[in-house]
Amino acid sequence: MRIGKVTAKAIIECVEAIEYLSSDTKQPVTSEKVHEYLRMSFEYVNDAIEVALLLQFISNGNTLTLSPDGKKLIKSTTKQSRILFGKQLQKLPPTKQLIELIRDGNKLEDAISNIIKCFAIQGNEKEISYSLRNLLIFANVPSASRSATVRDDST
């Protein structure tokens, strides 16, 4: 598994782009097409697509397509999308364990470092930390928000 620097906003933008591009069934939707459409850096788009795949908002066969949860995400309000992100995040074993470590009183940075090693997550540790913190806070995971806030206040 690989996690780059990504935000919930980037994931939503990519899912929306895939939905829009798939309305033109003449051309397959690829990460390159999403990149062209969004006019964002290739890394930004690829990282968002990788996490969207992990969260099962999209599937990747010959082309990128929306999953049922991806379709729900497109139609959801911000509050609903936060709930959907939370449900999808908590399906992933690394996220489940990360949340448990935080609830057990571990600092967010220590918990993330443990998760990276335990699950052999590929990527830059600072970027992985940024991404996981962003996604957990977006999904309103209370223990992650508290841990991030405490950390931010102490720096």
pLDDT tens, residue by residue, 12-29? 999 999 999 998 767 789
Handedness of CA 96, 118, 110, 53 (dihedral sign): negative
The last residue of a domain, from among 54, 75, 96: 75
- Pair (101, 133) in one structural domain: yes
**What domain range includes position 55?**
8-75
147 found inside a domain: yes
Give residue 23's pLDDT.
86
Q: Write b or e for each residue in 112-123: b if 16 or more Cβ atoms lie within 10 A of its Cβ, otherwise e.
A: bbebbeebebeb
- Pair (31, 71) in one structural domain: yes
pTM: 0.85
Handedness of CA 41, 17, 86, 117 (dihedral sign): negative
Give residue 78's pLDDT.
92
- Pair (50, 85) in one structural domain: no
How many Cα atoms are found within 13 Å in the side-chain-facing hemisphere of 112? 22
3 found inside a domain: no
Give residue 149's pLDDT.
43
- Pair (83, 149) in one structural domain: yes
Q: Answer with the residue of higher pLDDT: 51 or 2.
A: 51
What is the rounded average pLDDT of the residues 52-73?
93
Looking at the structure of the chain, the number of domains it has is 2
The last residue of a domain, from among 75, 108, 129: 75
Residue 142: pLDDT band (50, 70, 90) is low
What is the rounded average pLDDT of the residues 112-127?
92
- Pair (101, 112) in one structural domain: yes
The last residue of a domain, from among 56, 75, 94: 75
Angle at 151 between CA 127 and CA 108, to 5 degrees: 55
Contact 109, 148 (CB under 8 A): no
At residue 110, what are phi and psi to the nearest 5 degrees? -65, -40
What is the rounded average pLDDT of the residues 144-155?
44
